[in-house]
Structure 1
Amino acid sequence: MGGAPVQYRINQVSSATSYLWTAPAGASIIGSNTDTVVTISYPSNFVSGTLSVVAVNACFNNSVSNARNVTIRRYAPGTPGAITASVANPCAIIGTSQTAIYTIRPVTYASAYSWTLSSGITLVSQYGDTGVIVRFEPGFSSGTISVRASNACSISNARTINITAQKPTTPVAITGPSAVCELVGQPTTATYSISPVSGAGSYLWSVPVNASIVSGQGSTSISVSYLPGFSSGSVSVVASAPCGNSSARSLSVSATRPTTPVSITGPTQVCSFVGQPTTATYSINPVAGASSYLWTVPANVVIVSGQGTNTVTLSYSSGFRYGNISVASVANCGSSSARSLSVTTLVTKPGAITASGPACPGATVTFSIDPVSNATTYLWYLPSNAIYVSGQGTTSYTVTFKPEFTSGQVSVKSRNECSSSAAVALALSAAECTPPSFSGQPGKRESEGFDVVSVFPNPSAGVFQAKLKTRAQSGILQWQIVDMYGKPVWQKRGMINQGGLTIERIDASALPSGVYELRCLADAQWKSVKLVIAR
């Protein structure tokens, strides 16, 4: 309303010669109001009113019928409902020939629709009565599409949809191997893939130095070849679209050398294998990532079988003494450090020697050691002035010491078929042995009236100087040397010097080395001191 005039009609009424029309309030009749047709003009602000008409003739004073009334209302279309889009995110079709469709539901009382497109959006065509087909031009990032409903009376308010070209999101995760040592320098490729990303038109992959994309660039899955020299890096991918790329998703990949084998198991004392047809077996547990194993052996050892595996058999040639067996884990990207095992034919030295008692003249003593691993026998060495009793070749060795024994050592070596160890020795001395009690002078007792002050040097090669202090000022002295059995072997007579201090030279150089007792006898009394002759 507020536009073109509107015509209303009625049928001819019998006996009527004229008609009387009454326009709604605010409206006006254009032309005649006495015919069966009337033309009404409505103002733009017209809302509603009543249009009336009556039929008249000369007999009935203007009326031959009751008035016919019709209510006139202005019906304006409402604001269109939500605009729906065939493409939620136009990023993927920007700058392409692909189009998007935008539609609304029909609006009551609307007879037409007017669409408005912002810059970067081009109308391709109408889509039925309530839609449009559009194209997004290169460079488009965001804009709007609006629509109004209209009829002869009015135009509605606009309904608008905001359109933003959103870059694709970052790919969620890359699946594929991260440890690629076994692939380096090989024809076998590694496959890496991602799930499709909404709005992405393609995918841009990148790989580190010494890696090459064999196939799949632009898609969600690629094949990668790792070249010799590759060490580490990242496989990355971005989702790409005309409006931009996502941030990158990366996966760290590395060609890590295998770890060092944990330990080598096998015999370490190999004397029994030397020069024999029997072989020794050595092995390690498999190492993750290793494709083979490199064994090395010392001189005079031969790998019979198993090189490249985790178990080898070895032959030991004559002349082998000791060395190291080593093994390293091997892979395409390098080898681990070596694990070594010492092997030997040598037998170790015995531990400390223990004695069952002191090494005294006339005593029988057993010497012992702990068993030595891999020793088959033991070689004992007898000290001077001792007699072998038993135990040669075993860990217990028994000897008897001669009366003339003064000092020396007992030693022992451990042996096997291939070697003899260094000797371990135990020093022996009779200096601490207690001499036997005097029993060769019946009726005599140890004196409290004199004392041997000193004997010097002691031990000696056989010549001593004895110094004696007595209470008596004079008298006869008898000097006597007895062996460990109490048998007198040297004697000499002398006099007590005036004043009671007597110094006597004792020459026992004719006696053999050993432990003796020097006795001084006087007036049925005696005094003794231990004497050691050592040469």
Structure 2
Amino acid sequence: MLFLIFSHFAQGQCGKYLVFNSAPWGQTGDQSAMNAVFGAGGWTQATYNTSASTIFSASNCFVMLEGSEIGNAITLNSFLSTNRTLIENWVNTGGRLFINAAPNEGGNINCGFNNTIINYASGPYSNTAVAVNTSEGVFQGPFLPMATSFTGGYFAHAGIVGTGLTNLLLGNTPAPAGTVVLAYKKWGSGVVFFGTATQPAFWSPQPQSFNLWYNIFSYTNTITTVTTANSVAGTSFCTAQAAAVTVNYTTSGTFNAGNAFTAQLSNASGSFASPVNIGSVTATTSGTINATIPAGTASGTGYRIRIVSSSPVSTGSDNGSNIQLNAGVTPSVTIGANPGNIICSGTNVTFTATPVNGGASPSYQWKKNGNNAGTNSNTYSDAGLLQNDVISCILTSNASCATTQTATSNSITMNVNPLPIAGITNNTGTTILTCNTTSISVTATGGSTYQWDNGLGSNATASINAPGTYTTTVTNAQGCSSQASITITQNTIIPGMPVSINGPSSVCGGSTYTYSIDPVANANYYRWFAPVNATIISGQGTTSIQLQFNYATGAGNLNVQSENNGCTSNSVRQLLISYTAPYTPNVSIVLILQAVFAQALL
């Protein structure tokens, strides 16, 4: 809320002072003006020797400081310099001050009030003076008739230079055109007029010249001021939509029927060069303006608000402290994917949201194919993406002055390439390295390129000569990879020699006999070697064999050796076997005896 006040001291209840050391050029124009405006006896004459605290007492409301002519100008400059803070504070609380100097001595006079200067050093004397805005009070009365241009020899002896001035009269010849010779500035709750005029007796036309002088005194005393009473530093408004602001104002003085009080907004730098009317009320007394700052007003931290009135026309000073306006900000969000949107099946992809105007604590809702996914985080990871999955994110902003709370990101459509089906073909047919099988051949399948570990190279086919687990990385044309592994073991333990051979050591030829041994640790095969004239008819490779002997007589060794996958015992076990051929009778003798016996019987 802004609190603005119109104020000046109530008429007839405060003191008025005219201050000079001597009447300029012996003229009495100043005294005549004081009498005309305040009445004879209604004011006090003082000099620059009078205590400044007396002149600028809180009980006084009007002071005219005359600095024209020798004896006044230098003293006025010193008086202003010594008492500047006192004087400015007095005006700030509602005092009405008229500083006039047409010097004939010294140099520039610094009047204070943000370095407003009566510029005498360069000698801009003016023979003429022309009204800038005839609607200003000095040209409206109450002393009439009135003119809008004046001449004199000289009308003014200096120019006025400063900021924030409302110019009333501009001088000319020999001064540069546009030299300011009469102006005023609102200061807090009061006003200060600055003049460089001589005396009205030196001007023409008449009586308009004297009336102008009287009106300057009158307007200084009666001009309505509009000022800020309360600071609004730090006040902030959002203009994403129209922003309501309540402006309270207090008036003093008389306003005419039909008067309108209007609240005006400066630009972001505090300038009222092109003010924006934000609210008004038709009134003649104190009240409230329900103002509206337009939607879309640009952001800035240096805005000010002032009040102006229409009848009489009066422009107030600004509120005295900066107002911050925050124009609407539009939230947005973009997402990106790492490592990208073209991936291999099973790749873990991390999506990251980058907000704009998200505020201090934005929230996120991730979407996968339009369905909620993930958590309230600016990142979302997924290792189960499929071809043509679509990822997006909805941002909810908590930024102040956001035009909308939510924003939807761009969408990322995934291109998911399948993994190759990695395989290994065992060309050798075994996964065990033995004394018989010293190398195993394998071939990787399923891709376009291959890479074996353990130094097996990058060809599809590799030879494995040592036990272990071997892995091949299979890569397809899309660059996607999968792996297959094969485990190779080794069995090359040399078994011990059989302890003994069980079976007869003396046999008959033509017969079959059983021979056996006890099992040998780590042996999985037993190789028997038959003696001469004998044949193994069954049991080769086992611990028991059937051995058939020929019809012969002789002797020989039965040998047996233990084996383990081609690894043989270091020696063989032997058994010496003697074999004898069986006796066969003579057939011819038997036949003869049979014949003799048969003949005898006859």
TM-score relative to the length of structure 2: 0.29
More helix by share: 2
Q: Which has the higher contact order (CA 8 A, sep 6+)?
A: 2
